Amino acid sequence: MNSKPNDSQKIAHGPLVVGVGASAGGLEAFQGLLKALGDSPGIAIVFVQHLDPSSKSLLSELLKSSTSMDVVAIKGRRAIKANTIYVCPPQTLLELRKGFIRIAKTNEGVQRGDAATPIDHLFHSLAEDQGDRGVGVILSGGGSDGTLGLKAISDRGGLTFAQDSRSASHESMPRSAATTGQPPVKRGAVTWPSADTPSRRITCDAVIIRIFMSVDRET
């Protein structure tokens, strides 16, 4: 009998993957979120900034001063590990596939119309790959990139969060995200739909509550 785990089992036992999107004005919100999560939250975080095509992001270098977690600028394909921050390079689309994160081929993003919406592209991929274990967060930013991706995560049973627009330096992105129809998450009432044991439920709840409280506070 074949005892090798299938793809669903690998995903279920891998780290929780939290996708976080913001525009170029979201660095302060990113740093506040990292501070609230601490150095060993037990999750993998994927950061995507919606940048002008002519911009050059120094996000990886700046984030290294805000956390002791590993900060990795994606090049090619990498296995997803807990307590690691994966940063999307400028003018690049990221996607998740079976426990790995990779740079999407340029023509794939163009065909889907995602070249100008890198946050949406990541969130759609996160929804497809992680299902009800997916988590999406939108922080300060301009525009609406990420709104449709958050809906995709929600539709698959995942959890979605947006920074309070009143505390965001650029409010249009979190305000747009709030139109997805996702019910508000109450502190202390978070449950994890795919948890298989009580201890796993408690661990997941603690992580998600910390994310929610830090985004709501912010940041």
Of the residues 23, 57, 140, 214, only one is catalytic, namely 23
Mark whether 23 is an active-site residue: yes
Q: What are phi and psi of 148, to 5 degrees?
A: -70, -35
Closest listed residue to residue 139, CA positions, set 6, 22, 25, 4: 22
Residues 6+ apart with CB under 8 A from 54: none
Q: What whole-number distance in Å separates Cα of residue 88 and Cα of residue 69?
A: 16
Residue pair 93/104 in contact by the 8 Å Cβ criterion: yes
Beta-bridge partner residues of 17: 44
Give yes or no: 121 in active site: no
Catalytic residue among 125, 144, 145, 214: 145
Decide if 155 is catalytic: no
39 C-beta neighbours (distance < 10 Å), count: 10
What H or E segment, with its residue span, contains residue 77? strand 77-79
| Residues taking part in catalysis | 23, 50, 145
